[in-house]
């Protein structure tokens, strides 16, 4: 075989390798996009929404936290307070609820706070019935609700919310430190990311992640819940 024929065959082989590589890269890239792109409104859009409607959102949070049901009523009746539904519509807020992972009392990292939480959680007093509504992390779900919920091939259902903490959380080594427990130990930690536009790397199943907006206010994304 002459040199010319060898060069031609080499070129054909290179073109074939390039074609195969392109066919391999495309599905891998597509799979990576599907796996790690949440398909939810971006951080910047949600943060802009927060600042645009901040006064209304803060008013809704205040109303939610100070509400006390009457005559064996339901806590969901908080939204029936005077013109509350109008404020929710104006702020494009669909729902506010609590996370039951921790109670955020003043000085949440003190042993005194942890012991007080222990007493509250083990109390049968009527005044402690709504501790999580009053002192828990609050989840603020925007409208339309289905726009902030999606399904991922690996993680299942994924949600994204604005959240409010009654006390300003401490962040150390890229994690939110949850309040100190009754025994002086940290009750919980959760990762904080610079962006939630891409799903967190090595994200655990049934995990959450946060992005800080400012003190007390964060974005939160969770999977499998």
Residue 187, classified by CB atoms within 10 Å of its CB into exposed (0-12), middle (13-18) or buried (19+), is middle
Radius of gyration of the chain (CA): 25
Q: What is the pLDDT of residue 57?
A: 98
- Higher local confidence (pLDDT), 107 or 36: 107
Average pLDDT, the chain: 86
Task: Give the C-alpha separation, 173 to 128, whole Å.
Answer: 34
> What's the pTM value of the predicted model, to 2 decimals?
0.82
Task: Give the C-alpha separation, 15 to 38, whole Å.
Answer: 35
CB 39 within 8 A of CB 199: no
- Structure confidence by residue, pLDDT tens digits, 155-165: 889 999 999 99
- Structure confidence by residue, pLDDT tens digits, 37-57: 568 999 999 999 999 999 999
CB 102 within 8 A of CB 187: yes
Q: Which residue has the tokens 């597509």?
A: 30
Domain boundaries, the chain: 40-223
Q: Strand pairing partners for 186?
A: 180
Q: In terms of DSSP bridges, do strands 189-192 and 208-214 run parallel, antiparallel, or are they unpaired?
A: parallel
- Structure confidence by residue, pLDDT tens digits, 171-223: 999 999 999 988 888 878 999 999 999 998 888 888 999 999 999 999 999 99
């Amino acid at each position: 075989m002459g040199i010319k024929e060898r060069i031609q065959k080499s070129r054909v082989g290179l073109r074939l390798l390039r074609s195969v590589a392109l066919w391999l890269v495309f599905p891998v890239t597509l799979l990576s996009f599907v796996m790690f792109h949440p398909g939810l409104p971006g951080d910047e859009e949600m943060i802009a929404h927060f600042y645009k409607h901040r006064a209304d959102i803060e008013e809704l949070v205040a109303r939610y936290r100070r509400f006390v049901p009457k005559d064996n009523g339901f806590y969901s009746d908080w939204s029936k307070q005077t013109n509350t539904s109008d404020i929710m519509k104006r702020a494009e807020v669909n729902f506010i609820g609590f996370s039951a992972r921790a109670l955020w009392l003043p000085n949440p990292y003190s042993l005194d706070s942890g012991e007080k939480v222990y007493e509250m959680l083990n109390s049968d007093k009527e005044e402690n019935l709504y501790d999580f509504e009053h002192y828990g992390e609050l989840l603020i779900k925007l409208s339309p609700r289905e726009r902030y919920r999606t399904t991922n091939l690996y993680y299942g259902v994924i949600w994204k919310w604005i959240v409010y903490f009654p006390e300003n959380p401490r962040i150390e080594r890229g994690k939110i430190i949850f309040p100190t427990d009754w025994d002086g130990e940290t009750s919980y930690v959760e990762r904080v990311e610079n962006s939630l536009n891409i799903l967190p790397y090595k994200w655990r199943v049934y995990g959450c992640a946060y992005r800080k907006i400012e003190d007390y206010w964060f974005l939160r994304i969770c999977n499998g819940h």
